[in-house]
Chains A and B, each alone.
Chain A
Amino acid sequence: MLELRNVSKHFCKIFAVDDVSFTARPGEVTGYLGPNGSGKSTTLKIITGLIEMTSGQILFDGKSIHDDLIAYKRRMGYVPEEPYLYTHLSGVEYLVMISQLRDLPTRQSSERIDGLLRLLSLYDDRHASISGYSKGMRQKLLISAALLHNPDLILLDEPFSGLDVGSALILRSLIKELAARGKVVLFSSHELDTVERISDRVVILHRAKVVADDSIERLRSMMDLPTLEEIFSQLVVEQDFAATARQIAELVHG
């Protein structure tokens, strides 16, 4: 179980994450939502250990992750928001390097690499340079690298970004499947429809603070709204979409 307790992060005097607390349980998919700049990616980077929090505590299976960060990293898989990779490597070279850095047994890792590349339709281009990969292909590669070591905690930051329809459907099912096998899955996304379909519970962030943390079913009944999109709009959207769109069109048209 992943537990965040009063986690805050400020850069200079600006709070990127402000007193965030929530729990992601094994067997559940936890959706992490919020508008641009609300602090979702910062929270995920704090959970991975890439960014140090200013205050608060993060526990995984009851232990602070900072007590033994290396042991924690062994159990964590992460797909970042931006697919930054070492683009001078080929897809297979990248995965082999990850397996070596993770100290995975050679035979087991090469079987997994081959399998993941085949299942994610990257096998034919495995020897091509990543610099030539499309955004979707890079995303698939990141997903493969995150799952290579069979992690217990899976952190996915906008994992559907750039994926084609077929791959997105596979990933949706995969996320549910992984949760069903007892993994802790926390993923952030802007695709509310997808979140609604696969998440057991959602945490909604607005201006760096948690404004909702519950199962979608309970949020629907509590707020008396039929869809997650409407719940999200009510909680975090402060703009009149139609009016803004009209203003843009008028500005461009002259």
Chain B
Amino acid sequence: MGKIILLLPLQFRVLYRQFLLRVIDLEALSIEADIPGFIGQFAGVLIFISAISALKALSLADAPPEILRGICWTAEQQHISGIMLVVGLFAVVSWDATFPDKRDALVLSPLPITSHVILLAKLAASSTIIGVAILSLNFAAGFMWPLLVAKAGASDPLRAMAAYWLTMMAASAFLYGTVLTVQGITALLLPRGLFLRLSALLQLAAFGLFLGVYFLQPTIDNQAAMTTASNHHLLVFLPSFWFFALFNQLNGSLPASLGSLATEAWIGLTLAVTGAGASLLFCYLRTMRKTIEEPDLVPGARGLHWTPRLGSALQTAVLFFTIRSLVRSKQHRVIFAFFLAGVLGTALFSVKDAWWAGRRMPLSIDFLASSYLMMVLAVVGLRSVFALPITLHANWVLRTTQLRSTRQYVAATRYTLLLLAALPAWLLTVMLSYSIYPWREGVAHLAVVALWGLVLTELSLLGFYKLPFTCSVLPGKTNIQFLFWGFFVFGVIFAYMFADFEIHTLHDPARFRLLLAVLVAISVCLWSLNWHRARSAVLYFEELPQETITTLGIASLS
């Protein structure tokens, strides 16, 4: 392998290594971040999920073929939509990474490097990461499930395995190719300034779309249901079902009625790959020059700079500073979007059954737990993003204009957290509750969720004597495994325990009043604790300068 790599041109190898390290948007990660370690942690999470899925397959090894058939049918759908979600999220995180940016244009253009070497190096870097994702997510499941599929359909295990892996690669290539095609066409058609603005919106839209489709798409566990007219009309628009049909075609188990879906997969794959290739090629030929020639000073739209007075002057300043940082800083936007994706995913998960049933449902533990989790993700998400610096060197601006007590600054931060995290999460719960659940129980639950939001906001302010974005807890150093499993194991279990408790109190007014009183007392206690502590606290601003030089880390070699 090493010898093959050495046969590649030196320019390609150098650029590939560079691009591999920054395939996840450098702006979204600190310069100090250990990017290979960060990717490794994500791969670890995927491997763990794969292992759990493989264990499930192992436990079903002795099941009779007729039962296995139904289970495998749904498992195949889940695995395909799972890999599409992972690749989709990667496409969002590595947004723009495959396209030429100003930095590449300015640094690489004066050097004797052709555009196609840059393009190939970038494509190779992105493909490497997608390959790691496919391998990790199917690390164990990709061997166990095809064996089970072969047993259920009395087919060739090797063919099932080959079909499985080819389908995973095809689904990933389709999704990533589609994203590149859309980005490429937009970049080619629009003026550069407008494209950069629209690109940020497209990134967030793609985030919502991938999650929405993943959580809302139905799982169909038998062939008869899949071929009914109403379902078939829906499946035509869901790419994961095209690739499900493709898998069955490659495995030799495709029912004739699903042949059109497999054809759609082939057409979609061809269009996505050729579209991505063509648009990337054109972008490298045309936009490299356009990128260099673009003016630095891009006039802004006047309407976007409206600053109404919301609260005191300080509250308004902190609120708008936060909104503008979240909207305009890619680093903050992407990380907060991850938390919002969690909120959206949880919301969609909680209403999926009612959505498909098309009628009002009784208040469920799933919905109650989901609404707490939405609140946690929103408040914790925004509070986490507050801890990412935007420009430490510009902290002097806030320090020289610090004309109020620390308590007032903490109050302004609280106001921002409530307005930008707790309130939207609560309004989302109101919307879901109003549209699906009985209103009286729904209203009672909304009161609990509102208090839950206040408690979380106060908890997140404990010891936080800072303004948003003025200190440097850097992304890329977070232990993803710890956060992911900590949230799932403790967060979800606690939410379900509390939901179970709440659903009982909803039918017992005395206990419900007690629950409200306890939540009010906790939030008041936490508020007064923060209030008293802030009185003697000094507002903290990060003193450390941002790293401007990245070391090669080769000191130990000398």
A and B, one complex?
A: yes
Q: Which of B274-329 contact A (CB under 8 A)?
A: 295-302, 304-305, 307, 309, 313-314, 316-317, 320-321, 324-325, 328-329
Cβ 8 A contact of B393, one of A48, A84, A125, A134 = A84
Query: Does chain A have a CB within 8 A of B18?
Result: no
Query: Does chain A have a CB within 8 A of B396?
Result: yes
Provide the bound-state CA to CA distance between A99 and B295, in Å: 30
Query: Does chain B have a CB within 8 A of A59?
Result: no
- Of A11-19, A70-78, A174-182, A220-228, the one with at least 4 CB within 8 A of chain B: A70-78
Residues of A within 8 A of B328 (CB): 88, 129
Q: A100-B317, A103-B314 are in contact. Are A129 and B300 (CB under 8 A)?
A: yes
Q: Is the CB of B390 within 8 A of A50?
A: no
Query: Does chain A have a CB within 8 A of B550?
Result: no
Query: Does chain B have a CB within 8 A of A170?
Result: no
Q: A88-B324, A128-B300, A129-B298 are in contact. Are A97 and B396 (CB under 8 A)?
A: no
- Of B120-128, B150-158, B344-352, B398-406, the one with at least 4 CB within 8 A of chain A: B398-406
Q: A82-B393, A128-B297, A132-B298 are in contact. Are A97 and B404 (CB under 8 A)?
A: no
Residues of A within 8 A of B304 (CB): 127
Residues of B within 8 A of A84 (CB): 391, 393-394, 396
Residues of B within 8 A of A134 (CB): 296-297
Q: Is the CB of A127 within 8 A of B301?
A: yes
Q: Is the CB of B309 within 8 A of A102?
A: no
Query: Does chain A have a CB within 8 A of B397?
Result: yes
Residues of A within 8 A of B329 (CB): 88
Provide the bound-state CA to CA distance between A76 and B400, in Å: 9
Q: Is the CB of B396 within 8 A of A90?
A: no
Q: Is the CB of B300 within 8 A of A73?
A: no
B543 to chain A, nearest CB (A): 10
Q: Is the CB of A85 within 8 A of B299?
A: no
CB nearest to A80 among chain B residues? B396
Query: Does chain B have a CB within 8 A of A3?
Result: no
CB nearest to A104 among chain B residues? B313
Q: Is the CB of B296 within 8 A of A86?
A: no
B105 to chain A, nearest CB (A): 16
> What are the interface flags for A50-79 relative to B under an 8 Å C-beta threshold, 1 for contact and 0 otherwise?
100000000000000000001001101010
Q: Is the CB of A88 within 8 A of B404?
A: no
Residues of B within 8 A of A96 (CB): 307
Q: A73-B400, A101-B317, A102-B403 are in contact. Are A127 and B324 (CB under 8 A)?
A: no
CB nearest to B304 among chain A residues? A127
Q: Which of B394-446 contact A (CB under 8 A)?
A: 394, 396-404
Where chain B touches its partner, the secondary structure class is helix
Residues of B within 8 A of A108 (CB): none
Provide the bound-state CA to CA distance between A76 and B402, in Å: 12
Where chain A touches its partner, the secondary structure class is mixed
Provide the bound-state CA to CA distance between A49 and B396, in Å: 10
Cβ 8 A contact of B313, one of A74, A100, A127, A129 = A100
Provide the bound-state CA to CA distance between A110 and B305, in Å: 13
Q: Is the CB of A102 within 8 A of B401?
A: yes
Q: Is the CB of A125 within 8 A of B297?
A: yes
Interface residues on B, range: 35 or more
Provide the bound-state CA to CA distance between A43 and B125, in Å: 49
Provide the bound-state CA to CA distance between A88 and B222, in Å: 53
B324 to chain A, nearest CB (A): 6
Query: Does chain B have a CB within 8 A of A123?
Result: no
A100 to chain B, nearest CB (A): 4
Provide the bound-state CA to CA distance between A85 and B314, in Å: 19
Query: Does chain B have a CB within 8 A of A93?
Result: yes
Q: Is the CB of A86 within 8 A of B394?
A: yes
A85 to chain B, nearest CB (A): 5
CB nearest to B394 among chain A residues? A84
Q: Is the CB of B402 within 8 A of A73?
A: yes
Q: Which of B321-368 contact A (CB under 8 A)?
A: 321, 324-325, 328-329
Cβ 8 A contact of A74, one of B314, B391, B394, B403 = B403
Provide the bound-state CA to CA distance between A73 and B397, in Å: 12
Q: Is the CB of A132 within 8 A of B297?
A: yes
Query: Does chain B have a CB within 8 A of A133?
Result: yes
Q: Is the CB of B314 within 8 A of A101?
A: yes
Residues of A within 8 A of B307 (CB): 93, 96
A171 to chain B, nearest CB (A): 20
A110 to chain B, nearest CB (A): 10
Residues of A within 8 A of B391 (CB): 84-87
Residues of A within 8 A of B305 (CB): 90, 92-93, 127
Provide the bound-state CA to CA distance between A84 and B401, in Å: 15
Query: Does chain B have a CB within 8 A of A219?
Result: no
Cβ 8 A contact of B296, one of A93, A100, A127, A132 = A132
Residues of B within 8 A of A1 (CB): none
Residues of B within 8 A of A145 (CB): 397
Provide the bound-state CA to CA distance between A82 and B396, in Å: 11
B336 to chain A, nearest CB (A): 14
Query: Does chain B have a CB within 8 A of A212?
Result: no
Q: Which of A201-219 contact B (CB under 8 A)?
A: none
Provide the bound-state CA to CA distance between A65 and B263, in Å: 78
Residues of B within 8 A of A86 (CB): 321, 325, 390-391, 394, 397
Given contact pairs A88-B324, A133-B297, enumerate 8 new A-B contacts (beta carbons under 8 Å).
Answer: A73-B401, A73-B403, A87-B394, A93-B305, A101-B314, A103-B404, A125-B299, A128-B300
Can you list 13 A-B contacts (CB < 8 A)? A48-B400, A73-B400, A93-B307, A93-B320, A101-B401, A102-B403, A103-B403, A125-B299, A127-B299, A127-B300, A127-B301, A128-B297, A132-B296
List the 5 closest A-B pairs by CB distance, nearest first.
A127-B300, A100-B317, A84-B393, A101-B401, A132-B297
Residues of A within 8 A of B (CB): 48-50, 70, 73-74, 76, 78, 80, 82, 84-90, 92-93, 96-104, 106, 125, 127-129, 131-134, 145
